[in-house]
Amino acid sequence: MEKVIRSPLILIVSLFLMTIMLWSVYYGAFSNVFESVLLFVLIIALSTFLFLILFHNKRNPERKISWKSWTPYELKEEDEGQQWVTYRATRKVYIFFYFAIPAGLMVVAVFRHIEFMPLVVLFVLGTTQYGIYWHESRKYLNDREEV
Amino acid sequence: MLRNRVKELRARFSLTQTDLANRIGVTRQTIGLIEKGDYAPSITLAIKMAKTFDTAIDEVFWLEGDEE
């Protein structure tokens, strides 16, 4: 359960749904029915996510996931080993943004005639960030117990 | 690079990764990272491990190229 809550894949899907929603609302790309369905899906997804945290905290009182923390849920920092994994993964994400932000600015400027381009660029930056973090942390933490 | 014989000592003491993790207050994943040599533990953690195995730190960890 904790794996699901902390999976950046959840964030990628949420970002996708949010982008489609904003695309539909502000650019009129889809029908009102589609918007309502999407809003319903978003509410269900958010409720499920919050319920999973509640359920996890009840089952694991010693490993509670904080509601109040500003630290993203996917960052595992329970001990020094996991802090090191977070360091490795966030370092890679920083390197990505170091190059991706100037590139993104150029794409937005060059394709300024495509009005939803900023939305697309932000979606790509966001999903790539989550993807890099997920791939890097999985590389270190996705092992099986050795007896 | 830091080498170690955590896995070997753990087997000698019949401890799983989870057992060892619980004894020194870290997660099982951290034990896995240390055993694989991906992560070099802090001196505090190294001391805790050596104490658990009732031995000196340099019997558990040593630098690559050094005599064991």
Q: What is the DSSP string of A88-127?
A: HHHHHHHHHHHHHHHHHHHHHHHTTTSTTHHHHHHHHHHH
- Mean pLDDT over each residue of chain A, to the nearest integer: 89
A118 vs A30, more confident: A118
In a domain, B8, yes or no: yes
- B33: CATH: 1.10.260.40
Asked if A85's CB is within 8 angstroms of B27's CB, the reply is no
**B66 located within any domain:** no
d(CA A14, CA A127): 10
Res B68 pLDDT > 60: no
Domain ranges, residue B27? 2-52
Task: Look at residue B43 and tell me if it is in a domain.
Answer: yes
Q: Is the pLDDT of residue A1 over 80?
A: no
Contact check, Cβ <8 Å, A79/B33: no
Residue whose C-alpha is closest to residue A21's, from A40, A5, A8: A40
Q: Contact A140/B27, CB-based, under 8 Å?
A: no
**Complex ipTM, two decimals?**
0.89
Give the long-range contacts of residues B10-14, CB within 8 A, separation 24 or more.
B10/B35, B12/B53, B13/B52, B13/B53
Q: Is residue B67 part of a domain?
A: no
Question: What tokens does A5 get?
Answer: 């809550």
Q: Do B33 and A81 touch (CB under 8 A)?
A: yes
State the Cα–Cα distance between residues A29 and A26, nearest whole angstrom.
8
**Does B38 sit within 8 Å of A80, measured CB to CB?**
no
B68 occurs within a structural domain: no
In a domain, B65, yes or no: no
Chain segment B8-67, per-residue pLDDT in tens = 999 999 999 999 999 999 999 999 999 999 999 999 999 999 999 999 999 999 998 886
Q: What per-residue confidence (pLDDT) applies to A141?
A: 81
| Closest CA of chain B from A70, distance in Å | 22
Residue A90: count of CB within 10 angstroms of its CB:
16
Nearest CA in chain A to B14: A147
Q: Which residues of A touch B26 (CB under 8 A)?
A: 78-81
Q: Is residue B9 part of a domain?
A: yes
Tell me: the pLDDT tens digits for A24-66? 888 887 888 888 888 898 889 889 888 998 998 899 888 788 8
How many domains does one find in chain B? 1
Mutate to test the interface with B, among A82, A86, A88, A136 (most CBs of B within 10 A): A82
